[in-house]
């Protein structure tokens, strides 16, 4: 998906709370894109069966967390009880430990 198209779609629909979830790159990372009504985050969770140390070596000026290059899963948790709900994004290794954690408020996605 073209980055500008995504921003245009969010702007034209007035959508709030958009968080992109993607994969198939054989590692985990979080990228943050500016340029729309609010920051657009992309949580890439990939690597349950395959990982590659080559791909995360590519330059990514938007990366805010990661890379995590081990067999893993991605986890999205939302604390609805917080005054401003908190979104927690985690990359978990096969042993259950955190590869990384990243938190943002749901209010930041408006």
How far the first Cα of the chain sits from its last, in Å, is 21
Output the six-digit token pair for 51.
Answer: 């990982």
What is the pLDDT tens value at each position of the chain, 110 positions in all?
A: 455 777 888 888 989 889 999 988 889 999 999 878 889 999 998 888 888 888 888 889 999 999 999 999 999 999 999 999 999 999 999 999 999 999 999 999 88
CA gyration radius, the chain: 14
The β-bridge partners of 103 are 88
């Amino acid at each position: 998906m073209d980055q500008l198209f995504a921003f245009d779609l969010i702007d034209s629909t007035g959508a709030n709370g958009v968080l992109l979830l993607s994969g198939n790159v054989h590692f985990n990372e979080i990228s943050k894109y500016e340029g729309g009504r609010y920051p657009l985050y992309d949580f890439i969770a990939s690597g349950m069966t395959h990982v590659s140390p080559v791909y995360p070596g590519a330059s990514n000026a938007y990366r805010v967390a990661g890379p995590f290059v081990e067999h893993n899963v991605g986890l999205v948790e939302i604390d609805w009880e917080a005054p401003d709900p908190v979104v927690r994004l985690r990359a978990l290794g096969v042993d259950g430990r955190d590869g990384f954690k990243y938190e943002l408020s749901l209010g930041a996605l408006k």
